[in-house]
């Protein structure tokens, strides 16, 4: 047996050497090294002789072998607030390729990668101004305002691909950034989901997602001006089956996902969002005086955004689909089937003036940040809606403000506020604050508090199908208060979070897929505990979330848990490996049903989602800049044969299947 294990190790090692274009015997990533990344990266023009710059490049070659490798990422809204771009080569979530699982607290989805999703543990959503209300694919998108830019010395590329149980099922991602002459930097972020299998998925369940975002950053020679041009294109084409009407026969000759009967055979959803954005900052001050102290800086900023989005649902239904559309009886006599169409155009301008002090100079080889920040601004948005009955124009004007105090890495205080002044959404507001304090050996404490008043979304206010009105509501605004406090002991790998959420005039979709508003406050209590254990090279990572809602209009599992038991070791001094099992589960509850006609999760009282111990086995490995994994998903279905695995009612997860993936980081 020992000899067989050794042969397996050597086989895996040789395969990786053949795949890797870099020397497999290079310095091991993650090794404790005191090498400093080079100066003159990104927005800080390099200075010095050619010999000095060559030495900087060689230093970054060594630095790039570490998990955090001299690349700093930031957002165009505040280019002086950076964080090191850390790409931990074998982190806890490398094998969790699905965005709904690539996080501490999973989201509910409809059985396949790329399907509609909703948090399993309640999470407040930030609101400002007019909102269409169609966010069921948000985790797969990259918006122009969220595009990351990078401060770096050398071109950086990060490529990944995962292959599902069928060749037609794949997920590809790419990030790229490179400096050009005269202070110009280019960045790209690309994600593509193809779920087009025919046997491992249920009928009429395929989808395609494309998220493409790219941008140019120009940093002036004097360091005063920064301009960011960003473009984002997000497209979803989804086949909607409405869930399983009849599950596949178990144990029979035709026992496969494709043999199931579904509610809808021809329904389709298409979302297409296009955004252009230009953000510019002009800074004065902020220099270092003769005494070596940093002077206060002042910045004028402007951001222009143009969005053109289209949302469409259609179904040329047959007589077998009529039971699903009984909620909309007027549609059953329409020979064209069911159709929903909306085009949304947005033109937005934001003006801000701010003052701050930098922590250290721009040329420090670490992430830049501000000791303090005081900002005030105006944001005006023009929305034009084209629905099949006609056009509508909505205007928003918001006053915004920020205040921050960050005297050291151990203390951070941040506050934000916004207030709707005129036109639509006037009176809406949001105030929030964040506190972080690091007491070192005594632990870390963080607290988040927010209070917001926001108007109903378009989907909650009105709906038109086939040019006919389905509902028109005049709901009150929702008042929401959220508080969470987290205490962590990193040395003990322990963290606990307590949360409280209070919602007044909450709007929800009832069991008839109709929006309703509660007349009583709804409160949600939460407790999330994380604790990791280690014995020798064996690890057990745990996350448990308990939650309780005061009213039945909010349906949440009382307990969500996930655990990862794995072996982590080093083979041949250069090959990091992990071999383990992931477990996830929720207690049984009447989970929300996803209704594709309205693109919303609604209440239902017929399907009790049972507790199901979903197990995934995986093996992952890395050598230099290459990572790979192979994963046996939902292998618990091989011994739990009397029922299927559900996260959302009627939308079953596929049976056991194999998925593999690779990720390759290139710096040149």
The string of pLDDT tens digits covering residues 449-473 is 999 999 999 999 999 998 889 999 9
Return the structure tokens found at 164: 């599902």
pTM of the model: 0.87
Residue pLDDT, tens place only, 102-144 = 999 999 999 999 999 999 999 999 999 999 999 999 999 999 9
Torsion angles phi and psi, residue 440, rounded to 5: 60, -115
pLDDT score for 87: 64
Largest Cα–Cα distance in the chain? 83
pLDDT over 80 (residue 267): yes
Average the pLDDT over 1-29 and give the result: 41
Return the structure tokens found at 114: 């790329």
Q: Which domains does the chain have, with CATH numbers?
A: 2-364+372-667 (2.40.170.20)
Residue 89: pLDDT band (50, 70, 90) is low
Total residue count of the chain as it appears in this document: 668
Q: What letter does residue 589 receive in the DSSP assignment?
A: B
CA dist., res. 614 & res. 626, Å (int): 29
Which has more pLDDT, 31 or 399?
A: 399
pLDDT score for 379: 97
Closest CA to 116 of 240, 262, 258: 240
CB atoms under 10 Å from CB of 137, counted, come to 24
Contacts for 39 with CB less than 8 Å, ≥ 6 apart: 46, 47, 56, 363, 365
Average the pLDDT over 178-198 and give the result: 94
Closest CA to 270 of 248, 293, 237: 237
Q: Is the dihedral of CA 260, 263, 265, 266 positive or negative?
A: negative
Contacts for 371 with CB less than 8 Å, ≥ 6 apart: 294, 356, 357, 358, 359, 405, 406, 407
485 in Cβ contact with 508 (< 8 Å) = no
pLDDT score for 286: 80
CA 311 to chain centre: 21
* Alpha-carbon distances, residue 324 vs 392, 425, 649 (angstroms): 31, 35, 15
Enclosing H/E stretch for 53: helix 50-63
pLDDT score for 666: 83
pLDDT over 90 (residue 327): no
Torsion angles phi and psi, residue 320, rounded to 5: -75, -15
pLDDT over 60 (residue 36): no
pLDDT over 50 (residue 247): yes
| Residue 187: half-sphere exposure toward Cβ, Cα within 13 Å | 27
pLDDT score for 390: 84
428 in Cβ contact with 453 (< 8 Å) = yes
Counting residues of the chain whose pLDDT is more than 90, the rounded percentage is 70
Residue 130: exposure state from Cβ atoms within 10 A (0-12, 13-18, ≥19): buried
Torsion angles phi and psi, residue 264, rounded to 5: -125, 135
CA dist., res. 396 & res. 33, Å (int): 52
Q: Which residues pair with 423 in a beta bridge?
A: 396
pLDDT over 60 (residue 151): yes
CB atoms under 10 Å from CB of 456, counted, come to 20
Residue pLDDT, tens place only, 591-632 = 999 999 999 999 999 999 999 999 999 999 998 889 999 999
pLDDT score for 118: 96
Concatenated DSSP letters of 330-359:
GGTT-TT-EEEEEEEEEEEEEEEEEEEEES
Q: Which residues pair with 535 in a beta bridge?
A: 538
Contacts for 622 with CB less than 8 Å, ≥ 6 apart: 29, 89, 90, 575, 576, 628
Residue 8: exposure state from Cβ atoms within 10 A (0-12, 13-18, ≥19): exposed
pLDDT over 90 (residue 354): yes
Return the structure tokens found at 186: 């280019």
Closest CA to 439 of 493, 483, 491: 491
3-state helix, strand, coil in the chain (%, to 5): 10, 55, 40
| C-alpha gyration radius of the chain | 26
CA dist., res. 243 & res. 262, Å (int): 6
pLDDT score for 366: 75
Q: Which residues pair with 108 in a beta bridge?
A: 118
195 in Cβ contact with 164 (< 8 Å) = yes
Counting residues of the chain whose pLDDT is more than 70, the rounded percentage is 86
Enclosing H/E stretch for 315: strand 297-315
Average pLDDT along the chain = 86
pLDDT score for 249: 80
CA dist., res. 529 & res. 543, Å (int): 6
Residue 489: pLDDT band (50, 70, 90) is very high
pLDDT over 90 (residue 219): yes
Average the pLDDT over 190-215 and give the result: 93
Closest CA to 107 of 616, 591, 432: 591
149 in Cβ contact with 183 (< 8 Å) = no
Torsion angles phi and psi, residue 144, rounded to 5: -60, -40
pLDDT over 90 (residue 14): no
Closest CA to 201 of 114, 272, 136, 271: 114
pLDDT over 80 (residue 183): yes
């Amino acid at each position: 047996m020992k000899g067989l294990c050794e042969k397996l190790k050597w086989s895996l090692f040789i395969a990786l050497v053949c795949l890797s274009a870099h020397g497999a015997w290079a310095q091991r990533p993650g090794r404790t090294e005191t090498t400093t990344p080079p100066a003159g990266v990104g927005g800080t023009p390099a200075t010095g002789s050619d010999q000095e710059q060559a030495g900087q490049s060689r230093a970054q070659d060594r630095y790039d072998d570490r998990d955090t490798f001299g690349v700093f990422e930031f957002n165009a809204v505040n280019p002086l607030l950076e964080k090191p771009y850390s790409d931990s080569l074998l982190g806890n979530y490398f094998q969790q390729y699905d965005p709904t699982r690539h996080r501490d607290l999973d989201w509910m989805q409809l059985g396949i990668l790329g399907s509609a999703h909703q948090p399993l543990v309640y999470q407040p959503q930030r609101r400002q101004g007019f909102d269409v209300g169609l966010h069921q694919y948000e985790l797969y998108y990259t918006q122009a305002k969220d595009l990351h830019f990078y401060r770096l010395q050398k071109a950086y590329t990060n490529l990944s691909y995962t292959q599902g149980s069928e060749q037609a099922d794949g997920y590809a991602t790419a990030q790229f950034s490179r400096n050009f002459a005269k202070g110009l930097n280019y960045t790209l972020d690309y994600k593509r989901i193809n779920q087009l299998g025919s046997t491992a998925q249920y009928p009429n369940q395929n989808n395609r997602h494309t998220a493409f975002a790219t941008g140019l950053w120009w940093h002036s020679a004097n360091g005063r001006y920064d301009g960011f041009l960003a473009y984002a294109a997000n497209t979803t084409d989804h086949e909607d089956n409405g869930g399983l009407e009849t599950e596949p026969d178990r144990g029979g000759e035709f026992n496969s996902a494709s043999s199931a009967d579904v509610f809808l055979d021809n329904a389709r959803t298409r979302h297409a969002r296009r955004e252009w954005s230009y953000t510019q900052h002009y800074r004065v001050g902020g220099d270092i005086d003769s005494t070596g102290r940093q002077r206060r800086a002042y910045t004028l900023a402007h951001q222009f955004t143009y969005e053109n989005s289209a949302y469409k649902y259609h179904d040329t239904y047959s007589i077998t689909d009529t039971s699903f559309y009984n909620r909309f009886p007027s549609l059953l006599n329409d020979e064209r089937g069911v159709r929903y169409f909306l085009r949304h155009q947005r033109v937005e301008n934001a003006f801000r003036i701010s003052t701050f002090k930098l922590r250290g100079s721009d040329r420090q080889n670490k992430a830049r940040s501000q000791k303090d920040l005081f900002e005030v601004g105006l944001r005006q948005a023009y929305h034009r809606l084209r629905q099949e009955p006609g056009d509508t124009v909505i205007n928003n004007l918001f006053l915004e403000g920020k205040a921050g105090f960050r005297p050291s890495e151990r203390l951070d205080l941040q506050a934000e506020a916004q207030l709707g002044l005129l036109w639509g959404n006037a009176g809406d507001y949001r105030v929030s604050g964040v506190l972080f304090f690091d007491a070192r050996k005594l632990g870390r404490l963080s607290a988040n508090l927010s209070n917001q008043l926001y108007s109903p979304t378009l989907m909650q206010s009105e709906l038109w199908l086939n040019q006919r009105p389905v509902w028109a509501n005049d709901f009150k605004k929702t008042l929401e208060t959220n508080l969470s406090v987290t205490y962590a002991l990193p040395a003990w790998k322990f963290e606990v979070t307590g949360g409280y959420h209070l919602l007044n005039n909450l709007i929800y979709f009832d069991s008839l897929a109709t929006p309703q508003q509660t007349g009583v406050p709804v409160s949600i209590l939460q407790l999330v505990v994380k604790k990791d254990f280690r014995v020798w090279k064996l690890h057990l990572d745990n996350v448990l979330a308990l939650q309780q809602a005061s009213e039945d209009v909010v349906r949440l599992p009382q307990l969500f848990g996930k655990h990862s038991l794995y072996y982590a070791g080093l083979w041949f001094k250069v090959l990091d490996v992990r071999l383990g099992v992931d477990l996830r589960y929720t207690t049984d509850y009447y989970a929300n049903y996803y209704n594709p006609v309205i693109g919303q999760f609604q209440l239902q009282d017929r399907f009790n989602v049972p507790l199901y111990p979903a197990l995934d086995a995986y093996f992952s490995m890395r050598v230099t800049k290459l990572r790979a994994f192979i994963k046996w998903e939902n292998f618990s279905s091989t011994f739990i044969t009397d029922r299927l695995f559900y996260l959302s009612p009627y939308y079953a997860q596929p049976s056991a299947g194999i998925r593999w993936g690779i990720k390759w980081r290139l710096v040149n």
